[in-house]
Structure 1
Amino acid sequence: MRELTYYVASTLDGFIAAPDGSFDAFAPDPQFLQYMAAEFPETLPVHARGPLGIAEVPNKHFDTVVMGRKTYDPAVEAGLTSAYPHLRQYVFSRTLGHVDDASVTVVAGNPVDTVRELKKENGLGIWLCGGGELAGQLAPEIDRLIVKVNPVVIGSGTPLFTHDYQPRSWSLVDATPQAGGVAVLQYER
């Protein structure tokens, strides 16, 4: 059975985006980008893979990515129907409709049902790219949490998880400090 991993950048105060949805507070150090390219190459979008020298590097951890529409929209605004053509992509939206790209599937139904079906398939893991609302809906299905904690506090924005009060315990399995003050924290359920 495949695992669902929520792999995401966060501020020290637990936000994954600014109030307007932007990611300007996350300015990765070039050395940290090299770490990401080596350890999680498939999580870098297509327009970054060439400049980082990983355009042809095979996926290490994931072959599928799931995301909400707010996470998908910035790629569309940049002219990309698929930011991750090297992955099977599922975008959860009740309003998006069809996307003219074979690597992108729009799902209007229940994300939990879809993820449960994806977990039954053979292959690499499933990456939950974002956002906080989708993470809140999928919280019971998340097997691993990898948070790239950035050394910045923004005060408000999109929280790491958006859901009702439901404490869930995690076990820290790795903590790796990176250049620029980022700490990569890995947790298992």
Structure 2
Amino acid sequence: MGRIIVEQHVTADGFAAGPNGELDWVDGSVSETGPMVDQALSELEHADAILLGATTYSLFVSYWPRPEAASDPLAEPINRLPKHVVSSTLAAAPWGEFAPATLETGNVLDTCDRLTSLYDRDIIVWGSLELAGALMDAGCVSQVRLRIAPVAIGSGIPLWTAPYRSRALTVSSVTPLSTGQVTVIYDVD
């Protein structure tokens, strides 16, 4: 049975994006090489699928399947893994020259149950804050991986934007990186 893993970049003061959705603060701690990419590649080795909301899908499809992303070491696993997009508005979810993503139009709990039955290993949710909150509320999230950037932006969009029931988290690991970033992995109780 697969596990839903929510993975998100956040600022040290807990924001997943700036007030208008800006992600410029991420650029200083992420590059195409280095400890965070190595960590992400290792985690992708244990993934069977990627689950995205419609907005994050639009951002990802505008970069990952394009030729200019081919040199990025994350491109191959991201493009190869099956992708599922939760949306009530998209009619299709093409992925460049690669297999299209599967649209998920049902309720979140049914989607969670089906995907965790379909896959044996991790199903990674990137970005997709509304989806991540709905999955957390439905009790579907097994693990939360926070990539904490060494920056405070003062205001912005918080990690959890949807109301959700309180969930206890247990620290599984804390890994400081040479970039100043810290990866904290929590198991959801």
TM-score calculated relative to the size of structure 1: 0.80
Asked if residue 71 in structure 1 is aligned to residue 56 in structure 2, the reply is yes
**Structure 2 CA distance for partners of 1:142 and 1:89, relative to 1, 3 Å:** same
Alignment correspondent of 2:93: 99
Alignment correspondent of 1:158: 157
Amino acid at match of 1:93: S
The alignment's C-alpha RMSD in Å is 2.6
Once the two structures are superposed, the pairs formed by residues 1-189 of structure 1 within 5 Å of their partners are: 1-29=1-29, 33-41=33-41, 59-78=44-63, 80=65, 84-101=78-95, 102-139=99-136, 140-164=139-163, 166-189=165-188
Bigger mean CA deviation after superposition, 94-103 or 63-72:
94-103
In structure 2, the gaps of 5 or more residues are 67-74
**Structure 2 CA distance for partners of 1:29 and 1:129, relative to 1, 3 Å:** closer
Separation in 2, partners of 1:107, 1:31: 31
Separation in 2, partners of 1:26, 1:168: 27
Separation in 1, partners of 2:18, 2:111: 28
In structure 1, the gaps of 5 or more residues are 44-58
**Structure 2 CA distance for partners of 1:152 and 1:29, relative to 1, 3 Å:** closer
Bigger mean CA deviation after superposition, 25-34 or 14-23:
25-34
User: What is the total number of aligned residue pairs between the two structures?
Assistant: 174
TM-score calculated relative to the size of structure 2: 0.80
User: What is the SS of the residue equivalent to 1:117?
Assistant: helix
